[in-house]
A and B are shown apart, each in its own frame.
Chain A
Amino acid sequence: MLKYLLPIRLFSVKGKSMSPTLKPGSILLGSYYIKPKPGHVAVIKRQPKAIKRIKRIDKQKGVWVEGDNAAASTDSRQYGWLKFQDVDAIIFMKLL
């Protein structure tokens, strides 16, 4: 819960499903307090936490996410629409 009190959080990327946008080892800054919009890169509450791009938002259905490296990504095309509360943070800066 403490992490939701922090306006800005650090994330490190593992894997290639967001290549070439985000390579493995990229260090990112994200925030829970940014309102999700299509085009945003989001941290998703899955096990393990995933990082995907928000493609569509529907007030009734929620959030549709896909990896930028579509051929190598498991995302909403497999698991469907996500709830808004499944969005853990929106990435706003790439540090490294």
Chain B
Amino acid sequence: MKHLTKLLENLAEPVSAHCDLPCGVYDPAQARIEAESVHKIMQKYQDSDDDSFRARSILIKEDRAELVKHHLWVLWTDYFKPEHLKKHPQLHDLFWRATKAAGEAKKSTDPADGQKLLDLIDEIDEVFKATKQ
């Protein structure tokens, strides 16, 4: 029964009945920390000639980049409001480019792609800070 349960869990699509209150705690720092990890992993990948290390790097980078995407989406869909978009009309395009950059960072091992992602998150952070003033 345990094996069947595990099999079903592995086959099933996860759906969120997330316990978000919402608590109102949002910060681009969550996305940035994961993006810093992605960037650093890319650098370490380039610096290493150990096949096992490189293989692990790619797997872990995939996970962290997915977390970047998640944190960006939460900010975009749950924090930012129509009045923010009026003052910062570039908002949707910025999130679109940042999410695409996170996807690109999954495929790439070039630290330059990691830096592009960090730069876009910094742009989002500027808008975020402006909304807090």
Contact = CB atoms under 8 A, between A and B. Distances in A.
A22 interface: yes
Interface string A51-68: 110000000000000010
Interface string B1-27: 000010011011111111111100000
26 contacts: A10-B13, A11-B12, A12-B8, A12-B9, A12-B12, A12-B13, A12-B15, A13-B15, A14-B15, A14-B18, A15-B19, A16-B18, A16-B19, A17-B16, A19-B17, A27-B9, A27-B12, A47-B70, A47-B77, A50-B16, A51-B16, A72-B19, A72-B21, A73-B20, A74-B20, A74-B21
Interface string B74-118: 100110000000000000000000000000000000000000000
A18 interface: yes
B8 A48 contact: no
Interface of B: 5, 8-9, 11-22, 70, 73-74, 77-78
Interface of A: 3, 9-19, 22, 24-25, 27-28, 43, 46-52, 67, 69, 71-74, 78-79, 95-96
Contact of B15 (A51, A72, A78, A95): A51
Given A47-B74, A47-B77, A51-B15, 15 more contacts: A10-B8, A10-B13, A12-B8, A12-B14, A14-B17, A14-B18, A16-B17, A16-B18, A24-B17, A25-B9, A46-B77, A47-B73, A50-B18, A71-B21, A79-B77
A59 to B, nearest CB: 25
Closest 5 interchain pairs by CB? A12-B12, A15-B18, A10-B12, A15-B17, A47-B73
B17 A11 contact: no
B17 A51 contact: yes
Contacts, number: 90
A16 B16 CA distance: 9
A11 B73 contact: no
Given A47-B73, A74-B78, A11 B21 contact: no
Nearest to B18: A15
A17 B8 contact: no
B102 to A, nearest CB: 12
